[in-house]
Amino acid sequence: MDILLEQIQNISTTQDAKELLYSHTKNNQNINQAIDFSENYHQDQFRKSGEPYIIHPICVASIVCAYGGDEQMVIAALLHDVVEDTPCEIEEIVEKFGKEIADLVSGLTKIIEIRDEELLPSTSDEKLIASALSFRKMLLASISDVRVLVIKLCDRLHNMLTLNALNIDKQKRISEETLVVYVPIAHRLGISTIKNRLEDLSFFYIFPNEYKKIDEHISGYQQKFQLELNGFISKVKTLMLKNGFI
């Protein structure tokens, strides 16, 4: 997973994003149709980094693939922003991709609507956290298909991986929202790799100085930590062998 996320952070062209997706899923007609459909609707849109917007849903779809998402989830990931951010109507999704995929896209769009209602802008950290908690509660109560939450977590992970394109205030606010809303959801769903990465990225933007100190400490004592870990593993193996577990 770390290799995939590193590859994603280095992607700057649509072709690179497509090649990454095709390396994790079958290059079939349904996937190609969804890419073309999304690319058409997002063709005049760009991210804050200046990259074509279509790179984002393709990268989200790649992350969904890496976590074992089915074809419907991958297609929904490719289409997840077209209803929210373009003139596309959900009826067109139903017509071209079927009701199941349309329902997933509707669920992802609904998350945005709930967020706009519950997550109120505020300069107060306490008020932001309170509204974020309310948002998380509404989110868990309103989304019936867990696949929607998995796709949303992958979406948030890609946004966090590319957060450096935003200003410092937005980086901090999005990171706080991630820590309060999405990390607990990832924990509840048992997706520890997403949970851990979201926590790590959030901490990096909320507490940059503390993050740097911890990172430097770990790097400086990495060999020592590894030796202690190896010693612990050896003791556990010896104990298990002695008691007939190996």
> Active site includes 84?
yes
Residue 51's pLDDT is 93
Under the banding of pLDDT at 50, 70 and 90, the label for residue 203 is very high
Q: What's the pLDDT tens digit per position in 62-101?
A: 999 999 999 999 999 999 999 999 999 999 999 999 999 9
Q: What is the pLDDT of residues 113-161, one digit of tens each?
A: 888 776 666 555 667 777 777 888 888 877 889 999 999 999 999 999 9
Please answer whether residues 159 and 174 qualify as being in contact, where contact means their C-beta atoms are separated by less than 8 angstroms.
yes
The predicted-structure confidence for 4-55, as pLDDT tens digits, reads as follows: 989 998 998 999 999 999 999 877 899 999 999 999 999 999 998 899 999 9
Q: Taking residues 209-217, what's their average pLDDT?
A: 90
Burial of 28 (C-beta count, 10 Å sphere; 0-12/13-18/19+): exposed
* Catalytic entry in 39, 51, 71, 84: 84
19, HSE (Cβ side, Cα atoms, 13 Å): 8
Q: Extract the tokens encoding 150.
A: 């998995």
Q: Is 85 noted as a catalytic residue in this protein? A: yes
Tell me how far apart the alpha carbons of residues 224 and 66 are, in angstroms, rounded to a whole number: 33
What local confidence, expressed as pLDDT, does residue 80 receive?
96
Catalytic residue among 85, 118, 145, 176: 85
